[in-house]
Amino acid sequence: MTDKEEKRFREKVKAIQDTMFVIGGKWKLPVVLSIYNGNKRFNDILNSIPKITNRVLSKELKHLEENLLIRREVVDGYSVKIEYTITEYCLSLNDVVKPMEKWGKMHRNKLRGLS
Amino acid sequence: MTDKEEKRFREKVKAIQDTMFVIGGKWKLPVVLSIYNGNKRFNDILNSIPKITNRVLSKELKHLEENLLIRREVVDGYSVKIEYTITEYCLSLNDVVKPMEKWGKMHRNKLRGLS
DNA sequence: CAGCATCCAATCAGATACTG
DNA sequence: CAGTATCTGATTGGATGCTG
Extents of the domains making up chain B: 3-87
Instruction: Tell me the CA distances in angstroms from A42 to A55, A66, A84, B62, one per residue in order.
Output: 11, 17, 8, 39
* Averaged pLDDT of chain A: 95
**CATH tag, B3-87:** 1.10.10.10
Taking contacts as CB-CB distances below 8 angstroms, the residues of chain A near B115 are none
E runs forming strands in A18-67: none
A27 CA vs C15 C1’ separation (Å): 19
Q: In this structure, what is the dihedral angle of CA atoms A3, A8, A13, A16, given to the nearest 10 degrees?
A: 180
Residues contacting residue B30 through CB under 8 Å, at least 6 positions apart: A13, A16, A17, B49, B52
Q: Is the pLDDT of residue A35 over 90?
A: yes
Pairing of strands B81-86, B70-75: antiparallel
Taking contacts as CB-CB distances below 8 angstroms, the residues of chain A near B35 are none
Cβ contacts from A onto B, under 8 A? 136
pLDDT band at A114 (very low <50, low <70, confident <90, very high): confident
Taking contacts as CB-CB distances below 8 angstroms, the residues of chain B near A92 are 103, 106
Query: What pLDDT does residue B71 have?
Result: 98
User: Is the Cβ–Cβ distance between A86 and A32 less than 8 Å?
Assistant: yes
Amino acid at A69: L
Q: Go through chain B and tell me how many residues it has.
A: 115
User: Is the Cβ–Cβ distance between A100 and A115 less than 8 Å?
Assistant: no
Question: Residue A71: which H helix or E strand, with range?
Answer: strand A70-75
How far, in Å, CA of B111 to CA of A61, rounded?
18
B28 CA vs D9 C1’ separation (Å): 27
Q: Is the pLDDT of residue A2 over 90?
A: no
Query: Which residues does chain B have with pLDDT short of 70?
Result: none
Query: What pLDDT does residue A6 have?
Result: 87
Which segment of A26-30, A52-56, B6-10 scores lowest on mean pLDDT?
Answer: B6-10
Average pLDDT over residues A96-102: 97
Nearest C-alpha neighbor of B70 from the set B62, B78, B79? B62
Residue among A10, A94, A107, A111 with most chain B CBs within 10 A, to mutate: A107
How far is Cα of residue A66 from the mean position of the Cα atoms in its chain? 12
Q: Is the pLDDT of residue A65 over 80?
A: yes
User: Which of A15, A39, A92 lies nearest to residue B101, judging by beta carbons?
Assistant: A15
Alpha-carbon Rg for chain B, nearest whole angstrom, is: 18
Quick check: B29 and A20 CB within 8 A?
Answer: yes
What is the number of helices (H) and of strands (E) in chain A? 5, 2
Query: What pLDDT does residue B114 have?
Result: 82
Nucleotide nearest to B53 (CA to C1'): D14
Q: Is the pLDDT of residue A55 over 90?
A: yes
Query: What pLDDT does residue B73 have?
Result: 97
Q: Is the pLDDT of residue A115 over 80?
A: no
User: Which of B9, B17, B99 lies nearest to residue A96, judging by beta carbons?
Assistant: B99
